[in-house]
């Protein structure tokens, strides 16, 4: 009874403290800011976008930090005042910036129809034009945000609005369409296989077209009053997404859980090279980014390799040398958008990666001061081109390029006596080339796929828990091939892109190949670092589908992985090879059909070859 009383007291105390903090931030904001909420910013076609503006109480013109989002930033919800947006705004206003947050077209109080990354790019351009013309604006605008508040920034940056002075995109992979050979189309695909994160995400965010609408022409006064009790934030019933993602055919996944499905319906039918991917708000590498950019990525995010590839693309290929010289990058050892949640002992999944904190606010506001205020400061002298965190040694490092110039590729070859299945098999990984071909066999049954266990994920609800987890339990499965080096006699750091080439034969027309890179501890713990997949029909590129013939051996080059990890002396380097990683990626039903409209699959017998003629291999970027 005493313990229960103590718990109740602590709970009440916590609630009171939080309430005081909420009241305090609002009071402090009122002291320093002019707050203008539910401003309906006009677009060129007459649609108005709901916008909240927080700006310093000053007669001087100020720069703007702009965040556009599909998420609800209303100051009220369920009759209670919310302070999350106010807290972010306060940090900007106290430093002399206006903070402007806006809902995308068709979201909450914004007018029009919403489409994921499909709203007009001109909305961003028109917003910049409106903001620069305000009497309190100095005409300099920076875009800022993580995930859905980042993914729109790159394509809009390519429009080159004269007031768009700099950007800070974080966890921005869902805005990356094509970069070089990588064709993710905004995280919808990896290697031509569907990533199921948007199947889950759309259930929670796509609003019904029959939702109540605010009447056209509603005044700002009316909107502010209404927003106190009516935040236009519908909530779908909770769903067991781990079960929901098992439904076949995948085109009916949202229908099966009574989700709104119009946007999903058209996206699920698009192939990787569908022209519609190139008409929305996704960035592609034929679009020129001509502005200073401070990029943020993380090792356990869903699209670490495309993110790093985009940084390289802009840093190396921008037409203007000044633009090339003003690209900066931070890579943290966290999950999606979890940068500032790093602690003195950061746990990612179940692995400790040490003290991964970084002075984010200090660096970002120095960046804004440089580009939005025009201040002469020491950002460029103090800030390395690339800051990356090495797991294992648990340290921040810096480099002038990505990968660091002292990372050199070392080729490791797969080998076995034909029995690499499971942790207890004969699979090895070494720098010696195998000679005689004794292929390893994966019996891949799409009705019993390899379960995603940890990994580089986002937004799948309870279906996949991201991060590093001990893979030994997975490596008991007979449909996972395991290849491991000898015990390392000295420690080695692997930092950069990881390339892999596998030689495959199959009795199916089409199948998938998956791979993971793993750090094996002396006690057997095996922590995953990164993973990727390739749908074999797209092995020759995403412009065509080329199916397999039984008896033929095919070279499959997978989308590169990326990491920075120190393998200590006594550890081992391991890869896992299989044909599924579900529900991180959709199952290939092995039929050669559309896959999205099929409910039944066939079992595939897949063989991984390793010999002088078929040198299945992985190239590891080892630091000297």
pLDDT at 593 over 50: yes
Distance (Å, rounded) from C-alpha 54 to C-alpha 202?
30
Distance (Å, rounded) from C-alpha 361 to C-alpha 172?
18
**3-state secondary structure at position 441:** strand
Number of H helices, E strands in the chain: 13, 30
Distance (Å, rounded) from C-alpha 187 to C-alpha 116?
12
Contacts 24+ apart (CB under 8 A), 543-549: 543/273, 547/509, 547/510, 547/592, 548/505, 548/506, 548/508, 548/509, 548/510, 548/511
What is the pLDDT averaged over residues 116-140?
93
Contact, 333 vs 519, CB < 8 A? no
What is the pLDDT averaged over residues 253-262?
92
Contact, 613 vs 505, CB < 8 A? no
**3-state secondary structure at position 189:** strand
Q: Return the bridge partners of 56, or none.
A: 33
What is the pLDDT averaged over residues 484-489?
98
Q: What is the pLDDT of residues 101-120, one digit of tens each?
A: 999 999 999 999 898 877 78
Nearest to 77 by CA among 232, 236, 237: 232
Residue 5, classified by CB atoms within 10 Å of its CB into exposed (0-12), middle (13-18) or buried (19+), is: exposed
What is the pLDDT averaged over residues 553-571?
98
Per-residue model confidence (pLDDT) at position 16: 35
pLDDT at 521 over 70: yes
Per-residue model confidence (pLDDT) at position 215: 79
What is the pLDDT averaged over residues 554-572?
98
Per-residue model confidence (pLDDT) at position 206: 84
pLDDT at 155 over 80: yes
Residue 527, classified by CB atoms within 10 Å of its CB into exposed (0-12), middle (13-18) or buried (19+), is: buried
Nearest to 598 by CA among 607, 587, 610, 589: 589
- Which residues are CB-neighbours of 427 under 8 A, at least 6 positions away? 414, 415, 416, 420, 440, 481, 482, 483, 484
Contact, 86 vs 75, CB < 8 A? yes
What is the secondary structure of 117-162 as a DSSP string?
TTS-THHHHHHHHHHHTSTTEEEEEEEEEEGGGTTTHHHHHTT--T
336 counts as catalytic: yes
Per-residue model confidence (pLDDT) at position 214: 77
Contact, 159 vs 287, CB < 8 A? no
Q: How confident is the model at residue 15 (pLDDT cuts 50, 70, 90)?
A: very low
- Over its C-alpha atoms, the chain yields an Rg (Å, rounded) of 25
How many Cβ atoms are within 10 Å of 49's Cβ, its own excluded?
25
Q: How confident is the model at residue 19 (pLDDT cuts 50, 70, 90)?
A: very low
Per-residue model confidence (pLDDT) at position 310: 98
Contact, 523 vs 605, CB < 8 A? no
Of 301, 479, 519, 530, the catalytic one is: 301
Distance (Å, rounded) from C-alpha 391 to C-alpha 396?
9
- Which residues are CB-neighbours of 259 under 8 A, at least 6 positions away? 202, 203, 206, 236
Q: How confident is the model at residue 14 (pLDDT cuts 50, 70, 90)?
A: very low
Q: How confident is the model at residue 22 (pLDDT cuts 50, 70, 90)?
A: low
How many Cβ atoms are within 10 Å of 322's Cβ, its own excluded?
9
What is the secondary structure of 546-581 as a DSSP string?
----TT--EEEEEEEEEEEEEE-TT-EEEEEEES--
What is the pLDDT averaged over residues 389-416?
98
Q: How confident is the model at residue 234 (pLDDT cuts 50, 70, 90)?
A: confident
- Which residues are CB-neighbours of 513 under 8 A, at least 6 positions away? 502, 504, 533, 534, 536, 556, 558, 577, 578, 579, 606
Q: What is the pLDDT of residues 164-173, one digit of tens each?
A: 999 999 999 9
Task: Give start and end residues of each alpha helix (H) in 321-399.
Answer: 321-325, 360-371, 379-382
Structure tokens at 392: 């294992």
Of 75, 137, 147, 452, the catalytic one is: 147
Q: Return the bridge partners of 440, or none.
A: 608
What is the pLDDT averaged over residues 288-315?
97
What is the pLDDT averaged over residues 511-521?
98
Q: What is the pLDDT of residues 1-11, one digit of tens each?
A: 445 454 444 34
Min mean pLDDT across 79-88, 200-209, 236-245 is at: 200-209
**3-state secondary structure at position 165:** strand
pTM (two decimals): 0.94
What does DSSP say about strands 98-103 and 62-69: parallel, antiparallel, or unpaired?
A: parallel
Tell me phi and psi for residue 59, to 5 degrees: -90, -5
Length of the chain: 624
Per-residue model confidence (pLDDT) at position 624: 76
Of 313, 315, 336, 571, the catalytic one is: 336
Nearest to 140 by CA among 29, 39, 65: 65
How many Cβ atoms are within 10 Å of 488's Cβ, its own excluded?
15
What is the pLDDT averaged over residues 584-602?
97
**CB neighbour burial string for 64-79, b if at least 16 within 10 angstroms, e if fewer:** bbbbbbbbbbbbeeee
Higher-pLDDT residue of 507 and 213 is 507
Per-residue model confidence (pLDDT) at position 13: 41
Largest distance between two CA atoms of the chain: 79
Distance (Å, rounded) from C-alpha 399 to C-alpha 387?
7
How many Cβ atoms are within 10 Å of 46's Cβ, its own excluded?
9
- Any idea of the CA torsion for 425, 426, 432, 435, to the nearest 10 degrees? -120
Per-residue model confidence (pLDDT) at position 201: 93
- Any idea of the CA torsion for 226, 201, 474, 605, to the nearest 10 degrees? 160
Q: How confident is the model at residue 21 (pLDDT cuts 50, 70, 90)?
A: low
Per-residue model confidence (pLDDT) at position 473: 96
What does DSSP say about strands 48-56 and 33-42: parallel, antiparallel, or unpaired?
A: antiparallel
pLDDT at 20 over 60: no
Distance (Å, rounded) from C-alpha 363 to C-alpha 295?
12
Percent of the chain with pLDDT over 90: 86
Nearest to 73 by CA among 58, 86, 90: 86
Average pLDDT, the chain: 94
Q: What is the pLDDT of residues 425-481, one digit of tens each?
A: 999 999 999 989 999 999 999 999 999 999 999 999 999 999 999 999 999 999 999
Min mean pLDDT across 38-47, 114-123, 517-526, 574-583 is at: 114-123
Distance (Å, rounded) from C-alpha 398 to C-alpha 391?
14
What is the pLDDT averaged over residues 287-308?
97
């Amino acid at each position: 009874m005493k313990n229960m009383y103590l718990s109740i007291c602590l709970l009440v105390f916590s609630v009171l403290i939080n309430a005081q903090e909420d009241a305090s931030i609002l009071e402090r904001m009122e002291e320093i800011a002019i707050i203008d909420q539910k401003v309906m910013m006009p677009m060129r076609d007459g649609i108005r976008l709901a916008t909240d503006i927080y700006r310093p109480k000053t007669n001087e013109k100020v720069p703007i930090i702009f965040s556009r989002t599909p998420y609800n930033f209303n100051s009220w919800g369920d009759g209670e005042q919310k302070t999350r947006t106010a807290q972010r705004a306060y940090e900007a206003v106290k430093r002399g910036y206006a903070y402007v947050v806006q809902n995308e077209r068709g979201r909450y109080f914004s007018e029009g129809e919403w489409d994921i990354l499909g709203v007009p790019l001109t909305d961003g351009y028109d917003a910049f034009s409106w903001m620069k013309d305000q009497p309190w604006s100095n005409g300099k605008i920076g875009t800022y945000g993580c995930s859905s508040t980042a993914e729109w920034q790159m394509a809009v940056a390519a429009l080159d609005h004269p007031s768009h002075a700099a950007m800070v995109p974080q966890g921005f992979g869902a805005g990356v369409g094509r970069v070089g050979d990588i064709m993710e189309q905004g995280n919808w695909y990896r290697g031509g296989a569907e990533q199921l994160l948007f199947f889950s995400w759309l259930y929670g965010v796509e609003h019904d077209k029959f939702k109540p609408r605010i009447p056209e022409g509603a005044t700002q006064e009316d909107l502010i009053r209404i927003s106190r009790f009516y935040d236009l934030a519908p909530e779908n019933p909770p769903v067991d997404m781990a079960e929901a993602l098992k439904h076949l055919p995948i085109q009916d996944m949202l229908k099966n859980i009574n989700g709104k499905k119009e946007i999903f319906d058209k996206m699920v039918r698009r192939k990787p090279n569908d022209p519609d991917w190139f008409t929305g708000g996704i960035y592609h590498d034929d679009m020129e980014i001509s502005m200073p950019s401070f990029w943020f990525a993380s090792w356990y995010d869903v699209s670490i390799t495309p993110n790093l590839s985009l940084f390289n693309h802009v840093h190396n290929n921008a037409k203007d040398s000044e633009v090339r010289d003003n690209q900066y990058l931070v890579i943290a050892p966290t999950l999606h958008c979890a940068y500032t949640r790093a602690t003195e002992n950061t746990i990612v999944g179940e692995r400790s990666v040490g003290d991964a904190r970084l002075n984010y606010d200090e660096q970002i506001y120095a960046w804004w001061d440089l580009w939005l205020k025009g201040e002469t400061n020491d950002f460029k002298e103090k800030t390395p081109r690339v800051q990356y965190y090495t797991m294992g040694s648990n340290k921040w490092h810096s480099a002038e390029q990505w990968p660091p110039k002292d990372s050199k590729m070392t080729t490791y070859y797969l080998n076995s006596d034909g029995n690499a299945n499971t942790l207890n098999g004969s699979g090895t990984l070494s720098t010696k080339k195998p000679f005689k071909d004794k292929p390893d066999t994966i019996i891949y049954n799409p009705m019993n796929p390899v379960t995603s266990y940890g990994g580089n994920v986002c937004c799948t609800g309870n279906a996949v828990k991201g991060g590093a987890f001990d893979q030994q339990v997975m490596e008991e499965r007979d449909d996972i091939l395991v290849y491991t080096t000898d015990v390392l006699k000295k420690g080695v750091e692997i930092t950069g892109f990881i390339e892999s080439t596998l030689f495959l034969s199959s009795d199916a027309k089409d199948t998938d190949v998956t791979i993971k890179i793993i750090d094996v501890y002396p006690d057997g713990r095996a922590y995953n670092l990164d993973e990727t997949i390739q749908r074999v029909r797209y092995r020759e590129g995403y412009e065509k589908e080329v199916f397999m013939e039984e008896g033929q051996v095919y070279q499959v080059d997978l989308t590169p992985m990326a990491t920075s990890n120190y393998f200590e002396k006594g550890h081992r380097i391991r890869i896992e090879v299989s044909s599924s990683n579900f529900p991180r990626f959709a199952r290939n039903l092995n039929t050669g059909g559309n896959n999205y409209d099929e409910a039944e699959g066939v079992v595939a017998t897949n063989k991984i070859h390793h010999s002088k003629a078929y040198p299945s291999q992985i190239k590891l970027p080892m630091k000297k």
